[in-house]
Structure 1
Amino acid sequence: MAPMDPNQTTSSSSSSGGGFFASIASSLFGTSKSDNGTPSIEGLEVVNPEGGTEDAEEEAKKGRWKDEERDSYWKMMQKYVGSDITSMVTLPVIIFEPMTMLQRMAELMEYSYLLDMADETDDPYMRLVYASSFFISVYYAYQRTWKPFNPILGETYELANHGGMSFIAEQVSHHPPMSAGHAENEHFTYDVTSKLKTKFLGNSADVYPVGRTRVTLKRDGVTLDLVPPPTKISNLIFGRTWIDSPGEMVLTNLTTGDKVVLYFQPCGWFGAGRYEVDGYVYNAAEEPKILITGKWNEALSYQVCDPEGEPLPGTEMKEVWRVAEAPKNDKFQYTYFAHKLNSFDTAPKKLLPSDSRLRPDRWALEKGDLSVSGNEKSSLEERQRAEKRNREAKNHKFTPRWFDPTDEVTPTPWGELEVYQYNGKYTEHRAAIDSSDIIEEPDSRLEFNPWQFDNLEAAE
């Protein structure tokens, strides 16, 4: 059977079913129009990745929404079709998970031992096998269909007690939404500036990672640069939401010119090809040296190959990474490590009051109180708007605390990116803290406070 075209469009009102956050098919072409010219419900694409064309109508009735909530949300969202909805839409907490985007950035660190191994190996090609496996490992977590909270400007997230590593992330811009992160241990430094760009297509959305990620391995001083594939989200409103990331991931050793090119297969009929990743480590002359293959939700393996890309006789396929066991039937599809990101077991002593763990909306959602979470989310968003008005009235400019803006603007496949760099102040801050000052429960002491301009008069 021929593979499914990821851009195929399907009407949920017909029997010719169809086909979405990691794999999103266009839902604009061939849609019917309502009286006011916006796409009608009948024209939306609904895709079941495990099924074929015959069950699109049945799939459209499934998902996390109640009928009245779903229809109301679609009515609100119609006007945004074709737009970047990264920060322009207020979304209901029913689609959120109790985690922020900064915590999602930290989640990549679960398998940071792979970067340790990349630093320790003498083989320049195995270095890229380990490093690319590290970047593949996060996709198991990224298949979650719940949306993380957008960080408040100035919000932070700290990760400690994991692999001898420190991690700090900060929301450095609100319009456009941008985050910066830095991780470091004895083997590597990791730096990222992240800015997402989206395109809302009705019942699906394309997500473009307009960011820059760099890893420097300390032993030899080599720097690795990552360009990930875009992500597609399907069945946002009608049907069960699912995610796919078809396309190429390229990891380049900027020091030597060696690189890894891995291809994420698009989801085909009845799930064919979904999760599969294949590619090679190439030397600077673009000759294949090592084959890498596997599934991003299970495991990756590698094998030395000849200049034609065929496995060398006498060699065997070896596993390099396997996803850790995850909880069964977890409400938010969390891994054990994801639960730790909300725990104070992975928090440093004397937590910053701007830390995501302390957000009242996130905290309420974790407890299961959607009403309180929604009210707290609205309150935080209104306070952010009010602070911006006050700041601009006083002609004050927001200044990130742990990252500095640079003059560098780097190109990406999806647009230019203003680069932020770690300024080292967090390392100094942590070193100066009294290790005996232990944090306990968030609601008994620290109040969430990312605001830098509470008292503008005092700042003059």
Structure 2
Amino acid sequence: MSATEEAKKVEAESPTVDPENAENKEDNSSEDDTDNKVVLSDEPKSIIMGIIAQLRKGADLHRVTLPTFVLEPRSMTERITDFLRHPDILIKTMIIGIFPLILLIVKYFLSGWHIMPKGVKKPYNPVLGEIFRCRFKHPDGSEAFYICEQTSHHPPMSSFFYSVPQHGIKINGELKPKAKFLGNSAATIMQGTHSVYLTKFDETYLIPMPNVYARGILIGTMFMEYGDTVTIKCPKNDLSASIEFKTKGFFGGGYNNISGKIYKGKEVLYQLSGKWSSVMYIRKPKDKEKTPFIDIRNEELTPLIVEPNNKQEEFEARRLWEEVTAGLTKKGLDYATEKKTAIEDNQRLLVKKRADEGIEWKPRFFVPSDDGIHTYISPLDK
């Protein structure tokens, strides 16, 4: 299929909005090591303590109703776009053809972690069938299209697709977060993976996600950090990358640190170090000096172009959660809690109605594939 044909297919299910009139709600990036820390006052702290008192270590938090004040005013279906806000990195790969390609894939992967809310905030849990759609316009005139659908609620799974047809970039993925209580911390185990397919080179890179930890929920200052070792692989060649998101030690260490290695087979080609919130460095094993790999503070965010809420479908994320967001940002937490409860109650009614009528719910935009990742299908294919 040509790039033009694919563009038409994807655009058929993507909003067509003038960027100047789009409702772009940007998030602030975290440049300082302590930007995402917050100290809770006594009342919200006591609410969290009351919830935790009913849990045991290792308990699954997915079915626990969290207080509204911990919510970030956007859905997980939208938050996934944070990893796609620096598309110029991938576009350079296709135009210039820098080799080995895995260098640019690693740079793309490391570019999306600095976008986070202040303190410990959790995006809305998407309802079954919820979607989020947006477009991106790039300086070279090319466009990207993104769609995410909540393809499962128990357990939660968000399936997403991103495409830059003019440059032959396709990303299919799914996120399956599983939250656990760990004592003074809560962990979101980020199961699932996404594939980056570069049509020009016929190469696919498989990329999992690191885990997310909320620290200090019982004692101390609350903050979020990433922790895990992520392995990026390309099945077609012998190249891989191992990236460690380092958690801060109890008695020492810093925040937001990463280290990593890029391999050809078992041979180490490059070593990585630095902070995902600012500057990361690269060097060859025999080199004494390291050079800047990416300074995320100098990278511009590509804005989302999103259909205005009043033109969205009923289960599009911003329209669905509009009143909850209004409560969090303007009308107060009681209002947000009331509207959030109404959405959840309506979902229970819909589940019961389908069960009573013997209707099996199926995703609208995604189907399971052989590699285990739900694949996007345009309605034009049906």
Alpha-carbon distance between aligned partners in 2 of 1:272 and 1:357, rounded to the nearest angstrom = 39
2:296 corresponds to 1:323:
yes
3-state SS of paired residue (2:344)? helix
CA contact (8 A) 2:82 2:113 kept: no
CA distance in 1, matches of 2:327, 2:63: 24
Q: Distance in 1 between matches of 2:179 and 2:307?
A: 31
Q: What is the deviation of 1:152?
A: 1.2
**Any unmatched runs of 5+ in structure 2?**
1-32
Tell me which residue corresponds to 1:289: 269
Query: Any idea what the Cα deviations from partners look like across 1:406-453, whole Å, max 9, x if unmatched?
Result: 4655xxxxxxxxx3211123x789xxxxxxxxxxxxxxxxxxxxxxxx
Q: Deviations over 1:311-359 (max 9, x none)?
A: 28xxx64434222479xxxxxxxxx959x55xxx444895443221112
> Among residues 194, 197, 205, which one is paired with 1:213 in the alignment?
194
Q: Of 370, 394, 408, which residue of structure 1 is paired with 2:333?
A: 370
- Quote the residue 1:139 is aligned against: 113
Structure 1 counterpart of 2:255, from 261, 265, 274: 274
Alpha-carbon separation, structure 1, partners of 2:49 and 2:347? 26
Unaligned residue ranges in structure 1 (runs of 5+) = 1-48, 51-58, 327-335, 410-418, 430-460
Tell me which amino acid in the other structure corresponds to 2:71.
F
Q: Is 1:310 aligned to 2:310, yes or no?
A: no
Q: 2:77, 2:126 within 8 Å by CA — same for their partners in 1? A: yes
* Distance in structure 2 (CA, Å) of the matches to 1:294 and 1:159: 32
Would the aligned equivalents of 1:78 and 1:202 in 2 still touch at CA under 8 Å? no
Structure 1 CA distance, aligned partners of 2:329 and 2:105? Answer: 33
The equivalences for 1:22-171 within 5 A come to 63-64=39-40, 66-125=41-100, 127-142=101-116, 144=118, 145-163=120-138, 164-171=143-150
Distance 1:69 1:357, change over 3 A: same
Contact (CA 8 Å) 1:159, 1:348: kept in 2 or not?
Answer: no
- The alpha-carbon deviation at position 270 of structure 1 amounts to 6.6
**1:159–1:321 Cα change, 3 Å:** farther
Q: 1:81 to 1:302 in 2, by over 3 A?
A: same
Contact 2:98–2:104 (8 Å) recurs in 1:
no
Paired with 1:371 and 1:149, the residues of 2 have a C-alpha distance of 16
- With normalisation by structure 1, the TM-score equals 0.67
What is the match of residue 173 of structure 1?
152
What is the CA–CA distance in structure 1 between the aligned matches of 2:332 and 2:46, rounded to whole Å?
23
Describe how 1:370-409 pairs up with structure 2 within 5 A. Answer: 370-406=333-369, 409=372
The reply to whether residue 420 of structure 1 matches residue 362 of structure 2 is no
Shift of 1:397: 1.1
Q: Percent identity?
A: 22
d(CA) in 1 for partners of 2:56, 2:91: 44
Report if the CA contact (8 A) 2:157-2:176 is conserved.
Answer: yes
In 2 relative to 1, CA 194–239 (structure 1 residues): closer, same or farther, beyond 3 Å? same
Amino acid at match of 1:372: Y
Alpha-carbon distance in structure 2 between the residues aligned to 1:72 and 1:279? 39
What letter corresponds to residue 151 of structure 1 in structure 2? P
C-alpha distance in structure 1 between counterparts of 2:291 and 2:74, whole Å: 35
Residue aligning to 1:450 = none
2:318 to 353, 357, 365: 357
Distance in 2 of aligned mates of 1:271 and 1:116: 39
| Counterpart-to-counterpart distance in 2, 1:139 and 1:161 | 19
Deviation at 1:268, TM superposition (A): 2.9
**CA deviations over 1:390-419 (Å, ceiling 9, x no partner):** 11111111111111134655xxxxxxxxx3
Q: CA deviation at 1:271?
A: 5.6
Deviation, 1:129, is: 1.7
Q: How many residues align structurally?
A: 338
Q: 1:275 to 1:311 in 2, by over 3 A?
A: same
CA RMSD in angstroms, aligned pairs only: 2.9
Contact 1:268 1:274 in 2 (8 A): no
Q: 1:224 is matched with which residue?
A: 205
Equivalent pair of 2:147/2:162 in contact (CA under 8 Å): yes
The question of whether the paired residues in 1 share the 8 Å contact of 2:263 and 2:270 is answered with yes
SS in structure 1 at match of 2:74: strand
Task: Report the 3-state secondary structure (helix = DSSP H, G, I; strand = E; otherwise coil) of the residue aligned with 1:245.
Answer: strand
In structure 1, C-alpha distance between the alignment counterparts of 2:252 and 2:88, rounded to whole Å: 31
Task: Tell me which residue corresponds to 2:6.
Answer: none
* Closer/same/farther in 2, CA of residues 337 and 123 from structure 1, 3 Å limit: closer
Question: Matched residue of 1:387: which SS?
Answer: helix
AA of the residue aligned to 1:128: I
3-state SS, counterpart of residue 80 of structure 1: coil
- TM-superposed CA distance for 1:73, in Å, is 3.1
Contact 1:357–1:363 (Cα < 8 Å) also in 2: no
1:286: how far off? 1.9
Per-residue CA deviation, residues 40-95 of structure 1 (Å, 9 max, x unaligned), is xxxxxxxxx98xxxxxxxx9xx722x424422332233222234544301111111
What are the Cα deviations for residues 144-184 of structure 1, in whole angstroms up to 9, with x where unaligned?
52111111111111121343100000111111111100000
| Larger gyration radius, structure 1 or structure 2 | 1
Counterparts of 2:349 and 2:199, CA distance in 1: 44
